[in-house]
Amino acid sequence: MPRLLHIEVACAENRTIGRSGRLPWSIPEDTRLFHEHTAGQIVILGRVSFDDWAGAREDGRRAVVVTQNAVPPAPNVHSAGTFTEALRIAETLPGRIHICGGERIYAEALALDRPLRLNLTLVHAEIEGDRHFPEWRHLPWRELARRESHDEKFRYTFLELER
Ligand SMILES: NC(=O)c1ccc[n+]([C@@H]2O[C@H](COP(=O)([O-])OP(=O)(O)OC[C@H]3O[C@@H](n4cnc5c(N)ncnc54)[C@H](OP(=O)(O)O)[C@@H]3O)[C@@H](O)[C@H]2O)c1
């Protein structure tokens, strides 16, 4: 049985995840949970997301960066030319494997025929953006947990889904 993959994403109702290379919101509770989930674990992410998140190499995380370009050598940073190669590298490392975007990497992960856990923060707003999470609602998920929360700007739901 292949290892469970954990997909970590925050997306708006219209599936926006990013704008101009950054997150289109700041939701401290979501950021904190994301950091807690991934600390000490393996994170697979695209080059733009890696460049935008210094924490990918901190708190014991091991990053596998998907890129066709060279990544400057650094401790606990691996690079892979494709998502498939990134998974192959991740499988050789101890710890949970967390898929942390961006757009193409989420699409390839959701298309895999293997056990997936989706840790989804659904931000209850329509938000303009240039990167989107693939449609996931029609897939046969089992809901493991759900918690509603909010801050001054947004209402959001933390969902834990598995398939
Ligand atoms: N809301 C969330 O939870 C969340 C999570 C992650 C990211 N984001 C947002 O999403 C945006 C970044 O995502 P993005 O989709 O633009 O970029 P990305 O996936 O982080 O990085 C894109 C780059 O990664 C490489 N790459 C990605 N997929 C690849 C594949 N399947 N095969 C080979 N190379 C691949 C390529 O690098 P090279 O050009 O170097 O070859 C590509 O140019 C930002 O706005 C970020 O804030 C949001």
HEC assignment per residue over 92-143:
CCCCCEEECCCHHHHHHHHCCCCCEEEEEEEECCCCCCCEECCCCCCCCCEE
Q: Burial, 53: exposed, middle or buried (Cβ in 10 Å; 0-12, 13-18, 19+)? A: buried
Helices (H) and strands (E) in the chain, counts: 4, 10
Closest ligand 1 atom to Cα of 9? 3
Separation of CA 113 from chain center:
18
Q: Is residue 75 helix, strand or coil?
A: coil
Token digits of residue 126: 């329509």
Say yes or no to pLDDT of 53 above 90.
yes
Is the confidence at residue 8, as pLDDT, over 90? yes
Q: Are 110 and 101 in contact (CB under 8 A)?
A: no
Ligand 1 atom having least distance to the Cα of 45? 20
24: confidence class by pLDDT, cuts 50, 70, 90: very high
Both tokens of 56, joined, read 């990918």
Provide the pLDDT for residue 122: 98
Q: Is the pLDDT of residue 44 over 80?
A: yes
Structure tokens at 161: 């889904």
Identify the residue whose C-alpha is closest to ligand 1 atom 44. 21
CB 53 less than 6 A from any atom of ligand 1 = no
| 97-151: pLDDT as tens digits | 999 999 999 999 999 999 999 999 999 999 999 999 999 999 999 999 999 999 9
Residue 154 has pLDDT above 90, yes or no: yes
State the distance from the centre of ligand 1 to the C-alpha of 17, rounded, in angstroms: 11
Token pair in block for residue 16? 């926006």
| CB 23 less than 6 A from any atom of ligand 1 | yes
Residue 1 has pLDDT above 80, yes or no: no
Pocket test for ligand 1, best of 67, 120, 128 (most atoms within 8 A of CB): 67
Long-range contacts made by residues 32-39, C-beta under 8 angstroms, separation at least 24?
A: 33/121, 33/158, 34/8, 34/10, 35/59, 37/6, 37/8, 37/98, 37/119, 38/8, 38/98, 38/100
Full domain range(s) for residue 97: 5-162
**Stated pTM of the model:** 0.97
Cα(91) to ligand 1 centroid in Å equals 21
pLDDT band at 2 (very low <50, low <70, confident <90, very high): confident
Mean local confidence (pLDDT), 58-66: 97
* 121 Cα nearest atom in ligand 1: 3
Q: What percent of the chain has pLDDT over 90?
A: 95
Ligand 1 contact, 26 CB (< 6 A):
no
CATH number of the CATH domain containing 130: 3.40.430.10
Residue in 82, 88, 90 with CA at minimum distance from that of residue 63: 90
User: In total, how many domains does the chain have?
Assistant: 1
